[in-house]
Amino acid sequence: MQDRLRLFMMAVLATATCLYPQVGRAADPPTFFQKKVLPALEHKCYSCHSGDTPEAGLDLSKFKDEAGALKAQDIFENVYQRINRAEMPPEGAPGLEDGERYPILEWIEKSRKADGQCNELATDGSQSYYSGHVMSRRLTREEYNNSIRDLVGLDLRPADAFPSDGSGGEGFDNTGDTLYSSSVLLEKYLAAAKEVLDVVLSARRDEASPDAVAKARENILVAEPSDHLTPRQAAGEIVAAFARRAFRRPVTPQEVERLLTMFDRGYQRGDGFEASVKLALEAVLISPNFLFLAEPTPEVEGVHQLGHFELATRLAYFLWASMPDQELLTLAEQKKLYDAEVLRQQVRRMLADPKAHGFAKSYATQWLGIGALGGTVKPDPDRFPQFDPQLAADMRAEAVAFVESIFRDDRSLLDLLDCDYAMLNSRLADYYGLPPIEGDQLREVKLEDHRRGGVTGLGAVLTVTSLPLRTSPVLRGKWILEEVLGSPVPPPPPTTPQLPKDDRIQDGLTFRQRLEIHRTNPECAACHARMDPLGFGLEGFDATGRWRHHQNGQPVDASGQLPGGETFAGPAELKQVLLTRKQEFITNFTRKLLGFALGRGLSKFDDCVVKEAVAALEANGYRSHALIEHIALSYPFQHRYFKK
């Protein structure tokens, strides 16, 4: 009886073990996360980062196990950066002991996903990683102006009258998700098409005309009626040639026929040959094939490689902010753009072309945030009477020329942090108090010291990160964190008291002393400890970017100490601190440039491309061409996802 009972119990246990594996088996041993990471988070982080209103909206208490934490790698990557830089826990709070700090950093390092998604694009099944992608987007205002310039040969800038473009993705106006169309914009397109062709075709053969207009007219009117060509045949040749360039691809006979219906309408009512051709050309300029970077619809859904003409167009609007030229179109026609070496050669050629100024202008102006300088952002005219619209334009041009030189001359991207040269003209050199130079044209000028070289010494940046009546260490520090190092700063709480609008001594306190008092507010301390020291390092520059030794009769205090204990004084030493964080800068810059090139926000699938691009930069002395070439050859740049 006992033997039968024993056998029965063994059978039950065996069955239970099969159906419910946890029965009859020891519990899984605790993971490293449970043993080391979770206790440290509970001990030092939950006091601020838990509950209904966690600090900075970050609730770490919801990650109770490793599986949940692994799904939030973006959050823990931010935790890693803040702890690694000794920015968290904040000053005044109990710090992490080595036995707490190092296990957290070690776990995050080991949990980072290995590369392996470089050759993937987000699909419907992976939308949780993906912010959205617009296959065909319209031209931005700058791209429209540049395209008209290269299409007709005249820099007319009709899009300056268009509504402003938005921005999104990585912060640029070429993000497809934000490039909406409206009835107002459509009316502007119609008016611009008429305006452009009125100028180009206004010159008569029996009248004198400016050389540029005459050449533009000649390049468009490539045929005329003769004994061998009827008016309609001549119009067909003109329209076909113009549409091929405007559409950035070959045009079909059917497309030409549709466009010629406008010619027929005008010619049949007696408008004359050129006036009737003008109607057909206007139809080209208001076609979606010109106004949009249209990528033909694939026959089946899924991920597809771009066609050669689409790749030529994507490359041109990346590096020129304009349409492809004849050489690119010819290579596309010959189906050679899939060849990696051919593409590298084209990248180098295009960056050396003056049209690369369009890329530098679009990218630098938006990355540096200087587009509003002289417009909605400008110093107080009574406090800074020397600052005028011309100086604002020179400062914007200085910044663009500096970034342009980095890419044109294949310089190290680290020059953006620190270098011994600047792009100046006579007005800027005089305003900055530098040795005099001659002429209005910007040119490279060697600097005697390292105060000004790099983006933190640009007059445009220093001015837009100031207030009308004073400098702002807070804004300047925030700008460095976000735009240079890629470390976002949360907005201040709505109850945060406002700092004074000027820097006059009040109640015996300097502005810096009042800012130090402001930083003692617990709600403000954590962010200000990160921002303010960086901004203090630039206090030698006034609110318009001029160098100064005194502020309100007292020596300028440009010293700072970061949460990690690093100290510095002045912009030259600050830049050395930034160079120690070059990995953060290069990663952030790569993300920005990749987002700009793709015209969309980045997804998880782009992280691998960023890492590989950073590795390519490191292997090539941080030379800028290495980054551009890697982006142009990357999977997401050459592919797209389509769903019916």
* C-alpha 488: how far from chain center: 15
Q: Which residues contact 68 (CB under 8 A, 6 or more apart)?
A: 62
Give me the phi and psi of 606, to 5 degrees please: -90, -15
What is the rounded CA–CA span in Å between residue 384 and residue 388? 9
* Neighbouring C-alpha atoms within 13 Å toward the C-beta of 82: 23
**Distance separating alpha carbons of residues 332 and 309, to the nearest angstrom:** 5
- Residue 574 and residue 436 share a domain: yes
Residues of the chain with pLDDT below 50 are 1-5, 7-25, 114-116, 127-132, 134, 204-206
Q: Do 525 and 455 sit in the same domain of this protein?
A: yes
Largest CA-CA distance found in the chain, in angstroms, rounded: 124
In a domain, 83, yes or no: yes
Tell whether 453 is covered by a domain: yes
Number of domains observed in the structure of the chain: 4
Contact 527, 48 (CB under 8 A): no
Residue 5: its pLDDT value, please? 42
Pair 556, 445 in one domain: yes
pTM of the model: 0.83
- Is 435 domain-assigned? yes
The CA distance from 432 to 185, in Å, is 41
Check whether residue 93 and residue 176 sit in a common domain: no
Q: Which residues contact 449 (CB under 8 A, 6 or more apart)?
A: 572
Residues 195 and 208: beta-carbon distance below 8 Å: no
Residues 393 and 530 in one domain: yes
Angle at the Cα of 374 (from 368 to 377), degrees rounded to 5?
70
DSSP code string of 117-170? -TT----GGGGGG-----SS-BPPHHHHHHHHHHHHS----GGGGSPPP--BTT
- Token pair, residue 361, equals 């202008």
Q: Is 135 within the bounds of a domain?
A: no
Task: Out of 562, 579, 596, pick the residue that ends a domain.
Answer: 579
Residues 282 and 321 in one domain: no
Q: Give domain status of residue 593, yes or no.
A: no
Q: Does residue 65 belong to any structural domain of this protein?
A: yes
Distance, CA of 320 to CA of 127 (rounded, Å): 31
Rounded to an integer, what distance in angstroms lies between the CA atom of residue 478 and that of residue 519?
15
One domain, residues 419 and 477: yes
Residues 470 and 570 in one domain: yes
CA 102 – CA 292 distance, rounded (Å): 51
> CB–CB of 450/420 below 8 Å?
yes
Dihedral sign for Cα atoms in the order 441, 446, 449, 450: positive
Q: What pLDDT score does 543 carry? A: 96
Is the domain of 40 the same as that of 91?
Answer: yes
Distance CA 210, CA 213 (A): 5
385 domain residue, yes or no: yes
pLDDT reported for residue 18: 40
pLDDT given at position 611 = 95
- Do 347 and 372 fall within a single domain? no
Instruction: Please give the single-letter amino acid code of residue 64.
Output: K
Judge if 420 and 448 occupy the same domain. yes
Range of the domain at 262: 141-291
What residues are paired with 303 via a beta bridge? 641
Sign, CA dihedral 350-352-353-356, equals positive
Please count the CA atoms within 13 angstroms of the CA of 42 that sit on its side-chain side: 10
Are 154 and 282 contained in the same domain? yes
Decide: 465 and 475 in contact? Cβ < 8 Å.
yes
Going by C-alpha positions, the residue among 220, 224, 222, 223 that lies closest to residue 199 is: 220
Name the packing angle between helices 183-200 and 141-152 (round to 10°).
20
Residue 121, domain member (yes or no): no
- Determine whether 311 is exposed, middle or buried from the number of CB atoms within 10 Å of its CB (0-12, 13-18, 19+): buried
- Cα(90)–Cα(82) distance, integer angstroms: 10
Beta bridge mates, 506: 509
